[in-house]
Structure 1
Amino acid sequence: MRKFGVVGTVALILGIYSTSRMRADEFKHPHPHMLHALYELREAHKELKESKIDFGGHKEDAMRDIHSAAEQIEIALKEDGGIVIPKDFSKGVNYKKYAHHPHLHEALHELKEAHKELKEAKHDFHGHREEALKAVHKAMEQVEILIKASK
């Protein structure tokens, strides 16, 4: 077993603590918008599941496409080295600026940014980039429809 000594152990503990306490906009990751999109998609899915509104008949399709986009982003992130979402990831996000369905609105914003990250990445996430791009695009369309239907 490797010995770190007191200084090494303290540095390790502080490193773990500081990562778990970072605000979303401070979290260092090669694909921060993909990571944030994954978080917001999961939250938006919960938001939709709990909603009594059917959004003009689009709720089920949107839930399916949101779930699919989350799966594809998760696969791409895993292929790129893993996923670590801090517990307080949403701490830096102002959800109060949205009157209704804040995670849908934030998911739409992050999906657009994640789409750019996927397109501009120097690698193809072990062959998963195209599927992720398609899923993200479909989810963006569905979330736009839901936001329009909720007004």
Structure 2
Amino acid sequence: MRRPAATALLTVCFHASACFAGPVEPIIAINSNLREIAALQKLTIAGHIDKFTAGQDVVLEGWGKLSSGDGNGGMIQLDTDLPVSRVEVEAVARPDVAGTVGDPGLAYSGFRIRLVLDPAGVPEGYTLCVSTNDPLYGRFRMHDNPKVPCPVQR
């Protein structure tokens, strides 16, 4: 069943103490209106999808320009036509990124996202573009990854 073209915000709940102790899970926005992909392609690249699996569900692991602490979780936007029914997300410590970039604000810039699909299974010819929008760093798109079709080659 197709979802109407719209943007859905899925906010992950977190405890207030987590804001000060370490990672803050980012907000995930799913945009099924793929007419905006041309503008997305013009964004500066920052971040990387290190691991991608597509089977019954889709799992993305990587890092983006996402600040951490004091409620600065930022947002990861997924522009996709996949039939997403639920999203699971967790912030991941990335001391390697913070050290390489020289920015301690990126200490928890890592993420693991699981897209639960309904119906289960990844259809052929889908599109999945990943970008970040953060209150401190601004908006960026993920480094192109041949396993993540943004935009799909039809």
- TM-score, scaled to structure 1: 0.26
Q: Select the structure that is richer in strand.
A: 2
Does 1 or 2 have the higher relative contact order (CA < 8 Å, sep 6+)?
A: 1
Q: Select the structure that is richer in helix.
A: 1
Larger Rg: 1
